[in-house]
Amino acid sequence: MSLKRFLWRLPKIIRNWHWFFIQNLPNKTGKWLRARWAKKYFGSVGKNLNLHEGFAIQNPDQCFVGENVIIARGCHFNAGGGLIIKDYVGFGPGVKVWTVNHKIDNLDVPIPLQGSEYGKVIIEEGAWIAANAIILPNPKRDIVIGKGAVIGAGSVLAKSVPPYSICMGNPARVIGFRDKLKKDQTSQTGSGTEEKEE
């Protein structure tokens, strides 16, 4: 490697070595150091980022994080196509968010040689992405996970979902809405009270 190329890559090398040493540090010290690292290398970071051990990210400069976000152990993000995480979003352990994918449309060229396609992922306020869910990009339009939506554990999501929806499965689909769930619980509680009174 030439000196010029080495110097050009030096900031990335330093960033990766920083992360290597702090990625798996436990307890409050590790969380504090990871949050400091994120403030330095992410596109932007709000207050109270809770970044657990084992987190990995490619293209951190394209990741924009709001306030009071929780990213649990072992999450892996590729933010090359743009990743926006708004306030009070939570990620369970092992969640993967991808904004880059291989092109596959040319049958005459091996897939690794076809290059990449990008799609932005936007996760709105208060959404919860449960353990081991995978969010994939769509190069034709942004993937938007609506405000307060829940993506169930192990789901594979490759499309936008509306606010307060509950989505599960592979491929993930909407199975209900949180506001309807609350209404159902309220009506069940009410009917139970009436039966006791009788």
So where are the chain's domains? 3-197
Q: Which of 9 and 111 is assigned the larger pLDDT?
A: 111
Whether residue 196 has pLDDT greater than 70: no
SS3 5: helix
Q: What is the pTM of this model?
A: 0.84
Give me the residues paired with residue 135 across strands: 97, 157
Whether residue 126 has pLDDT greater than 90: yes
- Calculate the dihedral angle through the C-alpha atoms of 132, 158, 125, 141, rounding to the nearest 10 degrees: 150
Q: Which of 40 and 189 is assigned the larger pLDDT?
A: 40
- CA 21 centroid distance within chain: 23
Cα separation, 40 vs 14, whole angstroms: 12
17-50 as b/e, with b when 16 or more CB fall inside 10 Å?
eebeebbeeeeeebbebbbebbeebbeebbeebe
Residue of 38, 29, 43, 101 whose CA lies nearest to 71: 38
Whether residue 140 has pLDDT greater than 60: yes
Query: Domain 3-197: what homologous superfamily?
Result: Hexapeptide repeat proteins (2.160.10.10)
Share of the chain above pLDDT 70, in %: 87
Mean pLDDT in the chain? 89
Whether residue 19 has pLDDT greater than 70: yes
